[in-house]
Structures are given as structure tokens and as C-alpha cells.
Amino acid sequence: MSQPLRVALAGLGTVGAGTVALLAAHGALLERRCGRRLLVTDVSARSRGRDRGVDLTGFTWHDDPVAMARRAEVDVIVELIGGADGVAKAVCEAGLAAGRHVVTANKALLAKHGTALARSAEAAGLTLAFEASVAGGIPIVKALREGLAANELSRVYGILNGTCNYILTTMRESGREFADVLAEAQRLGFAEADPAFDIDGIDAAHKLAVLASVAFGVEVDLDGVHIEGIGRVSAHDIRFADELGYRIKLLGIARRTAHGIEQRVHPCMVKLGTPIAHVDGVFNAVVAEGDFVGSTVFQGRGAGAKPTASAVVSDLIDIARGRRTPTFSVAAVDLAPMRRSPMARHVGAYYLRLMVIDRPGVFGAVAVALGEAGVSIESVLQRGRDPNEVVPVVMITHDTEEQAMLAALERIAALDAVVEPPTVIRIETL
């Protein structure tokens, strides 16, 4: 057998403790598969005394994770601290500068600094690995970078945030409103005390920016991602979607267009017949479309100690075996600048819900506002009448450019019979 692969672990939270537990449980199996042991020798975390449910005896403890990355006699630094800057970034940079491979689960760091870190790693002949940064236990990075490497990919999309998927699923199943379901998700531990990172779409945007780089061989471009969260999706919208044959999902979508690469995160209406419509609860799913392979679907647990640790250790296995691939599909020095497709040029159909005073002439005024902007109506749905009271009216448009839809919404919002800002959800053809 070869010498062990020596590992230093920075961060002993849920994923860090899960990684230690996995290596302890499967040590012999992994040694057979790699031809060498995967051996954690050094660790660093904020608190020594906390009970993490794993045995840390025998590890060298470091109070300063950056100093550990510089000085520990190891082959790999595993960064599981989190955050786009600060200590997490310093740990990765220090590890690479000291000649260590780096494994990270940090999507925020990669979305902001992934291109620069990849160039540093590859220039030094080192690996920067990040399977755990996107979709937890789903091996989507390796699938895009290696399994689908023979294809030109045209689109990658998916459910990338389990918290949002859980909330939308529960709203549909219970008929309750967003705020009520969010509070329950927080009580159950499916949502953070401050849930903005998840429900505002930021977490999904970080993951999408990483996937787009891997899929299309371009620089990571978080600033080019259009981001909307799920906070304005109501029980009305969930019910109308069901009646119309759709499910509402927060999707991250990256695709090639004639204008460049489109990157967007927002609630979508997806047809019930599509596989992703039936991915519920905290599960994630990613779909990749290639010119030779067609459409491929990956589904599984997108977070949690065990699934994410599985992804972390898969990267350690690659390093132990000496397997090297470019960080983002092509050599980092050859990553193309992102040519952004403006969101205003997006073309698709739209779901439009208006809360209006039920009186004669309202629909005509809305139709005129849409027509003046060049938006045509495919269908209209209204349930019940309540003269001079507020009622919901739902419209489905034909395909139109986003800029035309925005112009129509400005006109509609100015109508005195429209009592709330219009709710718009893009209808996605998958």
C-alpha cells in the first residue's frame, strides 16, 4: 500500500463532523478502493469543547485554521467553514500557497472567487475540488465535467435549494400561506433563523454560477445571475398553478442563447408531466441537456451531514487515486469570459395574477395595457364574482420578451382597479 493521504479539516460543523464519521465508518473500504488510507491528522474549529458526536482523539488541534493550512504536514486541506471571504478564503489560499490540494463545500466562495482560486491551483499543479458545493450528495459536478464531457451542453437547470422546495411543497400540500410555512420550517430546522440567504434565491444563485462555469467552460460570474426569491408566491398562486396543470418550483437555469449565456434564479411554473415537477420536500434535482446524450436527470438529497460528507470524501478519493481534471471543465487559463444574455431579452410565457376590484371595464383596461406593450393573452382564469370587491384574475400569456412584459406590468400597476402589485411567474418549457 502507498503512503496515506493526509488530510487537515478546517471546520467541524455538521458537514465536518459528518466527514470525520464517514471516514471512520468506511476507512477499510476506502483504503481498498484508493490503494491508500484517507487519514485525517489535523483539525481546526472555533470550539474545542463542543460535543460533535465523533471521536476527535488523536487529531492535532489548531486554533487558527489559516496557520494550520500553512504549516500542517498534510496533502489536502478541506475547507468547511463557509462564507465568501474572510477565514474560508484565507484557508484555501494558504493551503494552495503551501502546496496542498484543496477540497471545499463552499459555494459562496467559489461563486465569488472560483476562477481566481482555480487559476492558482492549476498553476501550482494542485487540485481545487468542490463536489460538495452544489446539490449535496448528487455528483453533478463530476457528471458535467467528466461523464458528459463529450457533449456540448445547451442548458443546465434544477432545484438547487431544499429549503425553498420544502416550503413550496408544504404550501401546496397544506394550502397555507408562505409566512406560516416558513415559520414552521424554522421550527423544524429546515430553514435558518435568518432565512434570507435561502428564500431570496442567493444560495441557489451561488450554486448556479458554479454549475454554469463547469457546464460551459466560462469564468464564474455571480454578478450575471438574475435572482428572485419565493417570498411573493401566495397560496392563490399554488392553487391556480395546480388548476392549470403546473407546479411552482424555484429553479436555477443556465442556458446558451443567441445573445449569450442566460443565468437566472426565480420561481417557475413547470408542467406536471416533467420529472422535476415531482421533486418535493428537501430534495434537489439537476437536469443537464447535451447535444449527443439528450436530457439527463440527477436527483437526491441536497444538504445534510451524510450526503454532503459523501461528496467531500469523493473528492478526497480522486486526489488519493491521483485523478486530475481541470477545475471547471477546461484549463483555468482558457476559461472564456462570460458573455451575458440580458434578462430583458428572455423569451417565454408568463403567469400573471392580478388582485382587482370586480367592476365592469377592468378586464378591458388590463387587456389594453398588455396589447400596448405587445403582450398577447393565451387564456384567462377567474373563479367566482364579487361585484365591487377584490378578486384574483389570472392570465397566461403567449411567448413574449421580458422587456415587453415589464412594460405591460408598469401600465397595469398604474390602473386604479389593481389593488396590489401584479404577481408574475415565468412559465418554463422543460
Q: Which residues are catalytic?
A: 207
What DSSP character marks residue 46? S
Alpha-carbon span 322 to 331, nearest angstrom: 17
Alpha-carbon span 175 to 195, nearest angstrom: 21
What DSSP character marks residue 222? G
Q: What are phi and psi of 208, to 5 degrees?
A: -65, -40
Q: Is 335 helix (H, G, I), strand (E, B) or coil?
A: coil
Q: How far, CA to CA in Å, does 279 sit from each of 76, 205, 233?
A: 35, 19, 18
Alpha-carbon span 197 to 1, nearest angstrom: 45
Alpha-carbon span 120 to 140, nearest angstrom: 23
Residue type, 347: V
Q: How many residues does the chain have?
A: 430
For 209, the enclosing helix (H) or strand (E) is helix 202-216
Cβ burial, residue 314 (10 Å; 0-12/13-18/19+)? middle
Q: Is the dihedral of CA 372, 373, 376, 377 positive or negative?
A: negative
Give helix 86-97 / helix 107-123 axis angle, nearest 10°.
Answer: 20
CB 331 within 8 A of CB 122: yes
Cβ burial, residue 222 (10 Å; 0-12/13-18/19+)? buried
The number of angstroms, rounded, from the C-alpha of 401 to the middle of its chain's C-alpha atoms is 25
Cα maximum dimension of the chain: 83
Q: Measuring CA to CA, which residue among 415, 363, 430, 360 is closest to residue 393? A: 363
Q: What are phi and psi of 336, to 5 degrees?
A: -80, 145
Give every CB contact of residue 121 below 8 A, 6+ residues apart in sequence. Answer: 96, 101, 102, 127, 128, 327, 332
